[in-house]
Amino acid sequence: MIQNPIKEPLVRIVKRDALSSGKAWGIRIASLLLALVLCAVIIFSITKLNPLSVYSTMFRGAFGTARRSWQTIRDAMTLLCISLGLAPAFMMRFWNIGAEGQILVGGIATAGCMIYLGDKLPTPLLFVVMLVACLAAGALWGFIPAFFKAKFGTNETLFTLMMNYIAIQLTSYFVAIWEKPFGSNTVGIINDRTNAGWFQPLFGLQYGWNVAIVLVLTFAMYFYLKHSKQGYEIQVVGESENTARYAGINVSRVIIRTMILSGAVCGLSGFIVVAGAGHTISTSTSGGRGFTAIIVAWLSKFNPFVMVICSFLLTFLDKGAAEIASKFNLNDYVSDILEGIILFFVLGSEFFINYRLIFRQKPSADVNADDPKKEVEAA
């Protein structure tokens, strides 16, 4: 009557105990190494290049010269700044994928101040105005979707995404207005002669201000999220709106307030990119970093200090990949593949931290009938 040969499933997924953080980091590092091995295999099979020389080229691409190191630091700081902006929003489970737009409007505001006020205001005042303008622009871009979410329950994912397109069109519009030289369809380097509104070296370091601003922000964000009452409210709202209401938290107000903050910090990164790095504005000023920062924020589980590491890892990969693409005459996509593999492994390691796999054992090993057998019987 019964046709059912005994067969254990080949692989089973079993939940793990909470791992010690040391072991968890071990798994993360092991997966990173594994990713490098797999990349090496792929590099060799496709290009016949020595993987080690490719890796050392990657490293040189990011840290080969002092100039390159500084650029890596600068870009990592920008990415970190955006991630810091996204952290409160995502902690509240508000899917702010509109950082791109928030960066752009912050950048537009900064560029506008530099162009119109660069020669008219004394430097300290100019920076204050630029700072206020970029924060306000980013805050506005964060406020709009938050307002509609809080009052009408709109979907913030779609809303913030659409706000990106508005910001891109707005940028194109201003690029057309500020075009220089005429017909180039770019803004060019703003204030290239006077350097008005440019970040000056701090303690002799070219990107000193970038580093200083973002690191101060890192500490501030850590204390805000971890130790302030508002940070506590963000966590409660993110966990459950019902719990928040039960605790007497005004959920709408927290959503709006947090998104104003999130947008403002992203707007600030627009300021850093325009005034502290590119000194120009274009639709590619944000350059997809608003999305990369989402990965950074989640990878670090919203801990600002872990974000520092993650920002550096991603920026390093980006720089290194670009370098091997040009150095070995490889197609750009090869570097994208490597980047993808490494990210996949880093993210995938979280699965192995939470679960383990059990493979089917040899038939002889799996019968352990050590207790008195009780027959399951059918009458």
Binding residues for other proteins, per CB under 8 A?
Answer: 1-2, 4-9, 12, 14-18, 223, 227-230, 232, 235-236, 239-240, 242-243, 245-250, 367-371, 373-379
* Residue 336 and residue 351 in contact, taking contact as beta carbons nearer than 8 Å: no
Nearer to other proteins, 68 or 93 (CB): 93
CB of 229 to other proteins, least distance (A): 6
Nearer to other proteins, 120 or 371 (CB): 371
Residues with Cβ within 8 Å of 114's Cβ and at least 6 positions away in sequence, in order, are 126, 130, 190, 191, 196, 197, 274, 275
CB of 127 to other proteins, least distance (A): 26
Residue 138 token pair = 């980013």
Give the separation between CA 336 and CA 372, rounded to whole angstroms: 60
* Residue 241 and residue 61 in contact, taking contact as beta carbons nearer than 8 Å: no
Nearer to other proteins, 7 or 48 (CB): 7
Give the separation between CA 304 and CA 284, rounded to whole angstroms: 26
Give the separation between CA 174 and CA 180, rounded to whole angstroms: 12
CB of 301 to other proteins, least distance (A): 11
CB of 274 to other proteins, least distance (A): 31
Nearer to other proteins, 17 or 124 (CB): 17
* Residue 311 and residue 211 in contact, taking contact as beta carbons nearer than 8 Å: no
Nearer to other proteins, 8 or 119 (CB): 8
Give the separation between CA 358 and CA 11, rounded to whole angstroms: 6
Give the separation between CA 113 and CA 234, rounded to whole angstroms: 33
Nearer to other proteins, 6 or 66 (CB): 6
Nearer to other proteins, 18 or 66 (CB): 18
CB of 27 to other proteins, least distance (A): 16
CB of 156 to other proteins, least distance (A): 21
Nearer to other proteins, 242 or 329 (CB): 242
CB of 14 to other proteins, least distance (A): 8
Measured in residues, the chain has a length of 379
Give the separation between CA 234 and CA 252, rounded to whole angstroms: 11
Nearer to other proteins, 116 or 355 (CB): 355
Residue 321 token pair = 């990949």
The helix (run of H) or strand (run of E) holding residue 252 is helix 251-273
Q: What Rg do the C-alpha atoms of the chain give, in angstroms?
A: 26
DSSP secondary structure code for residue 51 in this structure = H
* Residue 47 and residue 328 in contact, taking contact as beta carbons nearer than 8 Å: yes
CB of 19 to other proteins, least distance (A): 10
Coil/strand/helix, residue 12: strand
Residue the block writes with tokens 């944000």? 286
CB of 373 to other proteins, least distance (A): 6
